[in-house]
Chain A
Amino acid sequence: MSELKATRDAYGDALIELGKKDKNVVVLDADLSESTKTAKFREHFPDRFFNMGIAEQNMIDVAAGLSTCGKIVFTSTFALFATGRPWEQIRNTVAYSNLDVKIAASHSGISVGADGSSHQSLEDIAIMRVIPNMRVIVPCDAPESFKATIEAASIPGPFYIRFGREKVPVITSKNDDFEIGKARVLKDGSDVAIISCGMMVFLSLEAAQMLEKEGINAAVIDMHTIKPIDTKILSQFADKARAVVTAEEHSVIGGLGSAVSEFLSETLPVPVYKIGTRDTFGQSGNPVDLIKKYKMTAGDIAEAARKAVSRK
């Protein structure tokens, strides 16, 4: 078993790094700083951390105001409240004017677990992706989360960066190249391309191992940037494998699977099977049981791959 680390932890570490490098980095949180790990930044830079209380709409527009005065602002809370509650503030004030606000949210997806549906964000990728100027990043592990945070700070304009609560296997290395908008091929393969994001990436690697035993050679692609999506890699692998599976800890409506389908349906129509929640809310439970319940296990990904291959 590889090392385990929560992506939100790496986010907190990256904030400290950014705080040291650039005095214009400011962090806002909405009463969840211990959970989102912005507390790490607060300890080092108390003068540049502001708790905005349980008031997410205000937090987003305060961030907008700060950014007009030269600040690079990170706003953090749980994914559902970071994107859902202040959606219109993000759309009209942050994104419309292309302001330097980085919405970095933790506790995304079904793996939040015990808190139940009210805290399980399964729509956030969709509602952020639809906004012009917004870039959407879903890192797969801790090292990638660290790099995504650092890089997002260096690119002007709004970002949504999605982190998780649970510790997940570290599958990339500190020294691996990382570039926003450039997918990473974790395993090459020619029979089917599994394109995934977040913690679904390590499950996709497991699925690829299962398939290998059956003689199906699956590629696994870490599509950490959902917008702008890496169309070059998509074209290359759809052309090579002629069968695609997407996997995300999110609804199949509007997320990674939709983004992949939107591109391929216009350019290179091949079967695309989607792993994710299917137009449903979540419920309380431990993450393992929930992943099983909503058919998002490595076995489910492998099964989707078999179906996709059989369609060729």
Chain B
Amino acid sequence: MKYEEKSLKRKAAELRIEIVDMITRAGSGHPGGSLSAIDLLTVLYYSIIKVDPQKPDWNERDRFVLSKGHAAPAIYAILADLGFFPKEKLTGLRQFGSILQGHPDMRKVPGIDISTGSLGQGLSVAVGMALAGKIDKKKYKVFALLGDGEIQEGQIWEASMAAAHYNLDNLCMAVDHNGLQIDGKIEDVMNPSPIEDKFISFGWKVKSIDGHSLKEIYDAWNWARSTENGKPSAIIAKTVKGKGVSFMENVVGFHGKAPTKEQGREALDSLKKALNGVK
């Protein structure tokens, strides 16, 4: 698909509003990592990935794995906007009886390809999906989004080894590198750097980008999906946790805490201004 910066920018701004609105209503959730990931996901879902909201189980579709499942509000906002399920459902986030569980559930939400929430598992699932694509000689790609704290899980490196071993060049992964995890800065908690070198040494193709530059994101996802040299692709996207809401940016406390009603209103006001700025 074509790159249309203005419409993508507008979309990302709208989705930020949905995310903050959902989490504020719910009174719990993970705003920081949803906002850091939303630009990566907006470009993916509105200009790269091949999915059909009318046929969520379409066999030939591209797959997506939200390995950092706590960014559920981000993917929910997108799937609702694309028509996978009615937008009204967004108000039910994390509520009893809602399809929108705290972490994504593939059996409840159309468009979710795998249930996630427990960190470190999604990349392995993506490897399995990519392997199935190779067995069946399908053209679909498998996209995955990981957190940078998440890559502290040993299983990520088991999966990385397997992806390269089986030459899964249909696997396109991005790390949302916002530098923060619940207990603080990732380099203080358990330093995973140098991230790029690690994936290179595991046999991946690696590209580092600004995870809030829509053009860089677009080029990176395209690079990842079009690379067919036997290597899986990793995009290391430098991002800002809480991006777009000034009082949340780079504030570790907003990893898994909802804004108060008042903070929510303030955030929504500024996000709406930002959206008007795009128009």
Q: In the bound complex, do residue B158 and residue A66 qualify as a contact, i.e. CB atoms below 8 Å apart?
A: no
Q: Report the minimal beta-carbon distance from A261 to chain B, rounded to whole angstroms.
A: 31
Bound Cα distance from A199 to B105, whole angstroms: 39
Check if A26 sits within 8 Å of B135, measured CB to CB. Answer: yes
Quick check: B121 and A62 within 8 Å, CB to CB? no
Chain A nearest Cβ from B139, distance in angstroms:
13
Checking B125, B135, B136 against A64 with a beta-carbon cut-off of 8 angstroms, the contacting residue is B125
User: B114: CB under 8 A from chain A?
Assistant: yes
Q: Which of B95-145 contact A (CB under 8 A)?
A: 105-107, 113-118, 120-122, 124-133, 135-136
Smallest Cβ distance from B132 to chain A, in angstroms?
3
Q: In the complex, what residues of B have CB within 8 A of residue A62's CB?
A: 124-125, 127-128, 131, 159, 162
Asked whether A61 lies within 8 Å of B131 as measured between CB atoms, the reply is: no
B145 to chain A, nearest CB (A): 15
With A58-B124, A64-B128 known as contacts, the answer to whether A97 contacts B114 (CB < 8 A) is yes
Complex Cα distance A98/B105, Å? 11
- Closest Cβ of chain A to B244, distance in Å, is 31
Q: How far is the CA of A69 from the CA of B131 in the complex (A)?
A: 10
Give CA–CA (A92, B67) in the complex, Å.
13
Q: In chain A, residues 38-96, which have Cβ atoms closer than 8 Å to a Cβ of chain B?
A: 47-48, 50, 52-53, 55, 57-58, 60-71, 88-89, 92-93, 96
CA distance A68 to B114 in the complex (A): 8
Contact between chains at B115 and A65 (CB < 8 Å):
no
- What residues of B have a CB within 8 angstroms of the CB of A93 in the complex? 114-116, 118, 121, 125
* Contact of A57 with B155 at beta-carbon distance under 8 Å, contacts A65-B127, A92-B117, A96-B115 already known: yes
Question: Does B223 interact with chain A (Cβ within 8 Å)?
Answer: no
A-side interface mostly: helix
Distance A53 CA – B163 CA, assembled complex (angstroms): 12
Distance A89 CA – B156 CA, assembled complex (angstroms): 13
Q: How far is the CB of B152 from chain A (nearest CB, A)?
A: 14
| Shortest Cβ gap from B97 to chain A (Å) | 18
B124 and A48 within 8 A (CB): no
Q: Mark B224-237, 1 if CB is under 8 A from A, else 0.
A: 00000000000000
* CB neighbours of A71 from chain B (8 A): 132, 135
> Known: A55-B161, A58-B158, A88-B118. Is A66-B107 also a contact (CB below 8 A)?
no
Would you call B3 an interface residue if the criterion is a C-beta within 8 Å of the partner chain's C-beta atoms? no
Q: Which of B113, B124, B128, B130 contacts A57 (CB 8 A)?
A: B124
The smallest C-beta distance from B160 to any residue of chain A, in angstroms, reads 9
CA distance A89 to B116 in the complex (A): 10
> A61 touches which one: B59, B159, B161 (CB < 8 A)?
B159
**When chains A and B are docked, how far (Å) is the Cα of A213 from the Cα of B86?**
72
Contact between A65 and B135, CB atoms less than 8 A apart:
no
Interchain CB contact under 8 A, A50 and B115: no
User: Quick check: is B166 within 8 A (CB to CB) of the other chain?
Assistant: yes
Which residue, of B114, B116, B136, has the highest number of chain A Cβ atoms within 10 A?
B114
Given known pairs A58-B124, A62-B125, A93-B115, the reply for A69 and B133 (CB within 8 Å) is yes
User: Contact between B129 and A58 (Cβ–Cβ < 8 Å)?
Assistant: no
Q: Cβ of B59: which chain A residues have Cβ within 8 Å of it? A: 70
What chain B residues lie within 8 Å of A97 (beta carbons)? 105-107, 114-115
B67 to chain A, nearest CB (A): 10
Contacts of A63 in B (CB 8 A): 128
| Contact call A65/B158, Cβ cutoff below 8 A | no
Is the CB–CB distance between B158 and A57 below 8 Å?
Answer: yes
> Contacts of A92 on B, CB cut-off 8 Å?
115, 117-118, 121
| CA–CA, A61 and B63, complex, Å | 15
Question: How far is it, in angstroms, between the C-alpha of A96 and the C-alpha of B69 when the chains are bound?
Answer: 14
Q: How far is the CB of B276 from chain A (nearest CB, A)?
A: 41
- Cβ-neighbour of B125 out of A26, A50, A61, A96 (below 8 A): A61
Residue contact A50 to B131, C-beta cutoff 8 Å: yes
Cross-chain contact A65 with B129 (CB below 8 angstroms): yes
- Best-surrounded residue of B63, B65, B133, B162 (most CB of chain A within 10 A): B162
Residues of chain A contacted by B135 (CB below 8 angstroms): 26, 47-48, 71
Closest to A48 in B: B135
**Min distance, Cβ B104 to any Cβ of chain A, angstroms:** 10
Contact partner, A52, options B105, B118, B122, B162, Cβ 8 Å: B162
Known: A65-B124, A71-B135, A96-B105. 17 other contacts (CB 8 A): A50-B131, A52-B162, A53-B161, A55-B158, A57-B121, A58-B155, A58-B158, A60-B124, A61-B121, A62-B125, A65-B114, A65-B125, A67-B128, A68-B128, A69-B63, A93-B125, A97-B115
A-B pairs with beta carbons under 8 Å apart, 23 shown:
A53-B165, A55-B158, A58-B127, A58-B158, A58-B159, A61-B124, A61-B127, A62-B131, A63-B128, A64-B124, A64-B128, A65-B125, A65-B128, A65-B131, A65-B132, A69-B128, A69-B133, A89-B155, A93-B116, A93-B118, A93-B121, A96-B115, A97-B105
The 8 closest A-B pairs by CB, nearest first: A65-B128, A61-B124, A69-B132, A58-B158, A55-B158, A62-B128, A65-B125, A66-B128
Interface residues of B (CB under 8 A from A): 59, 63, 65, 105-107, 113-118, 120-122, 124-133, 135-136, 154-155, 158-159, 161-162, 165-166
